[in-house]
Amino acid sequence: MKPAAACHLTLILLAALAGRLSAAEPISLGAELEVRPLASGVWLVVHRFPGECNSLLVQCDPNHFVWVDTPCTNEATQQVHQWLQRTFGAPDVIQINTGFHNDNLAGNGYLLAQGVPCYGSDLTPRLIAECWPKTVRKVLPYYERRPDKKYRDTLLSQKLVPPNKLYPLAEGLTLSIGSETIEVYFPGASHTVDNVIVYFRSRRLLYGGCMIKAIAARSPGFTGDADMAAWPHSVQKVLERYPAAHLVVPGHGPAGDLSLVRHTIDLCERHNKRNNL
């Protein structure tokens, strides 16, 4: 091989390697917002509000994305949606809310205005109307302690918009998109009484949302809306239904495997023992 050709080949290899490396690197969409490639066609969206709140993007076929949960504000949801439009040529998107808290659906207002259908259980709109104002009062002390008041102010001023595509909670929902089958499953009450999980069958990908804790979690976290007695039993049902799950995404913190599910059962049982539940 001539030196010039060898040099050219090296450049091609370097470019290919750089492309591969950058494909796996987080994409920053601002100081508090990041999109992290998790697997082929799967991205974890992390919104620091102020802790890490997850949502998940799955490319089911080249032109169809499923987005499970939203960032904690319409503004952050808009930034991610615009990145999606820029990067993938305006694909069709559907949103699935896994509960009534703002870390599940605060971006619905923006998404619905963009014509993105938002799926949610038939209990979720009622909980937004009847429980969310009480939830805000319960979590406010945590945000009041922070030096930056913008989280508190957002919490007090934001208006949560319910999903527009409702399904009966107890029945769940099954969607087929491209070659992917998506199951929305309610195993019983947990972190909230409407939390569901979303399972992507061909990817063996389980989005646990706020029902499932990260490995680093040392407690069940915010339990103000939880059914603590039911939570470990509900998670046990998830474990029994999806023993083949390969990748497990919690509502907050890094993804992992089924050990997150077992860890969550353990955390809830310890909590209940300590509190004589």
Instruction: Report if residue 194 touches Zn ion, rule: CB under 5 A.
Output: no
CB of 239 to Zn ion, least distance (A): 20
Instruction: Report if residue 220 touches Zn ion, rule: CB under 5 A.
Output: no
Instruction: Report if residue 210 touches Zn ion, rule: CB under 5 A.
Output: yes
Q: Which is nearer to Zn ion, 208 or 251 (CB)?
A: 251
CB 66 within 8 A of CB 182: yes
CB of 212 to Zn ion, least distance (A): 10
CB of 182 to Zn ion, least distance (A): 21
Determine the interface stretch with Zn ion among 58-66, 70-78, 179-187, 207-215 (rule: CB under 5 A). Answer: 207-215
Q: Which is nearer to Zn ion, 181 or 223 (CB)?
A: 223
- Among all residues, whose Cβ is closest to Zn ion? 210
Instruction: Report if residue 125 touches Zn ion, rule: CB under 5 A.
Output: no
Determine the interface stretch with Zn ion among 63-71, 122-130, 148-156, 202-210 (rule: CB under 5 A). Answer: 202-210
Give which of 41, 262, 68, 35 is closest to 163, Cα–Cα: 68
Q: What is the size of the binding site for Zn ion (CB under 5 A)?
A: 3
What type of residue sits at position 235?
V
Determine the interface stretch with Zn ion among 151-159, 178-186, 223-231, 248-256 (rule: CB under 5 A). Answer: 248-256
Q: Looking only at residues 133 through 192 of this chain, which bind Zn ion when binding is defined by CB under 5 A? A: none
Instruction: Report if residue 251 touches Zn ion, rule: CB under 5 A.
Output: yes
Instruction: Report if residue 103 touches Zn ion, rule: CB under 5 A.
Output: yes
Q: Which is nearer to Zn ion, 60 or 106 (CB)?
A: 106
Give contact residues for Zn ion (rule: CB under 5 A): 103, 210, 251
